[in-house]
Structure 1
Amino acid sequence: MPHSPALLLTAEPIEVRAKLTALSDGSITYRSEDTVSGYLDMCTQHMSVYAIQVDGDGLAPLARNGWYLIVTPDVGPKPGDYALVVRENGDEQVLEYLFSRGGTREFMLLGDRGRVTVKADEDALLTTIAAVVSPSMYKPAAEPKQK
């Protein structure tokens, strides 16, 4: 039986978009001085998925220096998932999502270092960290061919 064209999906490699440094409270800063040009040698059918390289051990035990976070902007976190939380003031943290209740969302700092509460009416963007990938999966972007 032939496949319907709607069922044929193209899998694309995952682009590495940035490098970040994290503190022990999960707060992150992007390293603008380090450009990342490459991809992870694994595929996804979700076009919005991207990777961020971790610099330092501030996200331990979740991720170590040189590892990659796979971020899925179109998928909201479920309890137990790790999430990239972007607050109204621009602060960003990597936290474990626990639950929503009574107008708040509860998160755990990495390594069970305490809790963070985000009010539901706060316009915080939550995206799921779907996976953590080892540095061996990284491939540099191909150099343009010389003519």
Structure 2
Amino acid sequence: MCTMTKRQISQERQADAERLKKVWMEFKDKEKANNRKVSQEDVADGCGWSTQGAFSAYLNGRTPLNLDALIKLSSYFNVSPSEISPDLAEELQSVVDRAGRVHHIERTNTERSGRLVSVKAFEKMDENGYYRKLESEEANHENHGYVPSLDASKDAYAIQGTGNSMYPVIRNGWFFVCDPQATPHVTEFVEVALKNGDRVIKEYIGVIGSVLHLLSINSSERSTFDMDEVESVVPVIEIIPPSRHTKNK
């Protein structure tokens, strides 16, 4: 007679389940305080899982947490991945660090010091935050001014956010300082340039396999791009108010 034994998960993954329960309870309490009710089915649907049982299995330690699930859950609950699984978050950061080679960005130990960063010409951001570099000869030769930065390298550039696609986190008219020499970090902002010419600024979650995971700045909406579609991922190192913008260098 064959006896089935329950598979035991590691202590690390059991601890992940306990931290996930804590995040889940705090999330439910916050939603309840705002007169919103959320269920395990809602979480599963938000993470792209077909049944509530997938979330329940992670929550109760029946299924060990993995990187893909960690990205989806931390994005849904809008928490740092390390709040759910510190050791998997370190592994995720390792993936992020290696992703720079995939992005085809050569990073050097460029000296950083206070400097004025030139503002580049881009089309106005649409309601989803997308914009496109202006290629006209007039735009390329026009002086769009400068913003000060304490940490930018000589390769940094600035983008002015236009419209309300990132409100209330970022207001209309503020500037993003983007630095190709910096390293993207989980939950920080990045500028993603796609090979079709579109660009967007979102929160960086990571690269799993060949898929780039992003989170909208002003909501919990997630975006994914196959890395074959991506030209570059450049960290946003500072956000500068319009009062600091100048036309003179």
TM-score by length of structure 1 reads: 0.75
Q: Partner of 2:246: helix, strand, or coil?
A: strand
Letter in 2 for 1:28: Y
Question: Structure 1 stretches of 5 or more lacking a match?
Answer: 1-7, 143-147
Verify: 1:24 aligned to 2:137, yes or no: no
What pairs with 1:1-147 in structure 2 (closer than 5 Å)? 11-30=114-133, 35-44=142-151, 46-141=153-248
| Deviation (angstroms), 1:17 | 2.3
Q: How many residues align?
A: 135
Q: Which has the larger radius of gyration?
A: 2
Q: How has the CA–CA distance of structure 1 residues 101 and 139 changed in structure 2, closer, same or farther, with 3 Å as cutoff?
A: same
Summarize deviations over 1:84-137 as a string: whole Å, max 9, x none. 111122221111111222331211122225211112344431111112111111
Higher helix share: 2
How far apart are the structure 2 equivalents of 1:90 and 1:21? Answer: 14
Higher relative contact order (CA 8 A, sep 6+): 1
Aligned residues with identical type, % of pairs: 24
Summarize deviations over 1:16-67 as a string: whole Å, max 9, x none. 2225421232211346687543222344451011111222222223422221
Do the aligned partners of 2:215 and 2:222 also contact (CA within 8 Å) in 1?
yes
Q: How has the CA–CA distance of structure 1 residues 59 and 70 changed in structure 2, closer, same or farther, with 3 Å as cutoff?
A: same
Question: Structure 2 stretches of 5 or more lacking a match?
Answer: 1-110
Higher strand share: 1
Do the aligned partners of 1:42 and 1:137 also contact (CA within 8 Å) in 2?
no
TM-score by length of structure 2 reads: 0.47
Which has the larger displacement, 133-142 or 29-38?
Answer: 29-38
